[in-house]
Homo-oligomer: A and B are copies of this chain.
Amino acid sequence: MSILVVGSVAFDGIETPFGKVERAIGGSATYFSVAASFFTPVQLVAVVGEDFSDKEMEVFRGRDIDVSGLSRAQGKTFSWRGSYDYDMNVATTRETQLNVFADFKPVLSDSFRSAKVVFLANIDPELQLEVLEQVRSPRLVALDTMNYWITSKKEALKKIFSRVDLIIINEGEVRQFSGEANLIKGARTILSLGAKTIVIKRGEYGVLMVKKDEVFAVPAFPLETVFDPTGAGDTFAGGFLGYLASRSDHSESVMRRAIIFGSVLASFTVEAFALDRLREVSRREIDSRFRQFKTLTHFDDLEEAES
């Protein structure tokens, strides 16, 4: 089953203690699409400016990504500049130029309106709702958001939270939105608005998936080389939802495997600048790291142990 994503395509300027890069292709929808395309066809909805050339489009080529919903507008592409300190957990935004993104009003084509799996990447919650209302009968809708919208558009966020199945969000944002210091309590507060599942990203500490009756916790894959965390969250979402969209059932065990695939893809993204590592990784390497994840986290049942 294909997956529709709406979000940003951007030029990023990134500085970390290990170097810097200018005009790297980035944006939530870009990382998401590339990651999801390892598992399922992707329908991309975003906007770029006149400065996004045919050469830059190469990032999507040779993958199962339908770019017919990537519109080109007069003006410059959305751009972001950010930097990271040694701890790599928090990006400091140096500059954001919305450019063509300021007037982004996506209108879905007829075939895109039939999407069954939808990811609303981190954009204005009102825009997320407008896109969602164009989709006829989605089976699974997920979204991401950020501290900025929690501060500036909390009511719109509450509304969209009540309309989706799955919320992907950072740990700090759970606490900010819910006003709860305890993460599990905060997750339950958010679930009470309507979603069935909340997936909490904890950066280098991994992921927590909370449902009414199930909790799944997984550490991040420990790496000795973390060059650039940009896009890790969107890559995670792409691997997670891409795998889910490729499966006919979304049982707890399938969702847990999807969390691992998302974590595996994110672990590749951070190993190099921008999309450099994710663009060259193979499905064989992905599966191999999935197995390493199992080795990393496995312990015997109590009964196995005592027998």
Q: Which residue of B lies closest to A293 (CB)?
A: B299
User: Is residue A248 within 8 Å, beta carbon to beta carbon, of the partner chain?
Assistant: no
Given contacts A208-B219, A222-B208, contact A299 B257 (CB under 8 A): yes
User: Is residue A163 within 8 Å, beta carbon to beta carbon, of the partner chain?
Assistant: no
User: Is residue A67 within 8 Å, beta carbon to beta carbon, of the partner chain?
Assistant: no
Given contacts A259-B299, A299-B256, A299-B259, contact A184 B294 (CB under 8 A): no
User: Is residue A206 within 8 Å, beta carbon to beta carbon, of the partner chain?
Assistant: yes
A240 to chain B, nearest CB (A): 13
User: Is residue A202 within 8 Å, beta carbon to beta carbon, of the partner chain?
Assistant: yes
Give residues of chain A (158-188) contacting chain B, Cβ–Cβ below 8 Å.
181-185
Interface readout for A209-222 with B: 1 if CB under 8 Å, 0 if not? 00000011111101
Contact status B291-A301, CB under 8 Å: yes
User: Is residue A102 within 8 Å, beta carbon to beta carbon, of the partner chain?
Assistant: no
Q: Quick one: which of B224, B260, B299 contacts A299, CB cutoff 8 A?
A: B260
Q: Which residue of B lies closest to A208 (CB)?
A: B222
User: Is residue A223 within 8 Å, beta carbon to beta carbon, of the partner chain?
Assistant: yes
How long is the Cα–Cα vector from A226 to B205 in the complex, in angstroms? 19
A172 to chain B, nearest CB (A): 11
State the number of copies, please: 2
Residue with the highest number of chain B CB atoms closer than 10 Å, among A86, A206, A216, A290: A216
User: Is residue A57 within 8 Å, beta carbon to beta carbon, of the partner chain?
Assistant: no
Give residues of chain A (281-307) contacting chain B, Cβ–Cβ below 8 Å.
287, 290-291, 294, 296-302, 305
Q: Quick one: which of B222, B291, B301 contacts A294, CB cutoff 8 A?
A: B301
What count of chain A residues pass the 8 Å CB interface test? 43
Contact status A219-B222, CB under 8 Å: no
Given contacts A181-B87, A202-B205, A205-B202, contact A300 B222 (CB under 8 A): no
Q: Which residue of B lies closest to A187 (CB)?
A: B222
Given contacts A205-B202, A205-B205, A302-B291, contact A296 B257 (CB under 8 A): no
Name 12 interchain pairs, CB-CB below 8 A, sorted by A.
A183-B222, A184-B224, A185-B224, A218-B219, A218-B297, A256-B299, A257-B302, A257-B305, A291-B301, A294-B299, A294-B301, A294-B302
Contacts of A181 in B (CB 8 A): 17, 86-88
Contacts of A226 in B (CB 8 A): 182
How long is the Cα–Cα vector from A138 to B79 in the complex, in angstroms? 61
How long is the Cα–Cα vector from A297 to B183 in the complex, in angstroms? 17
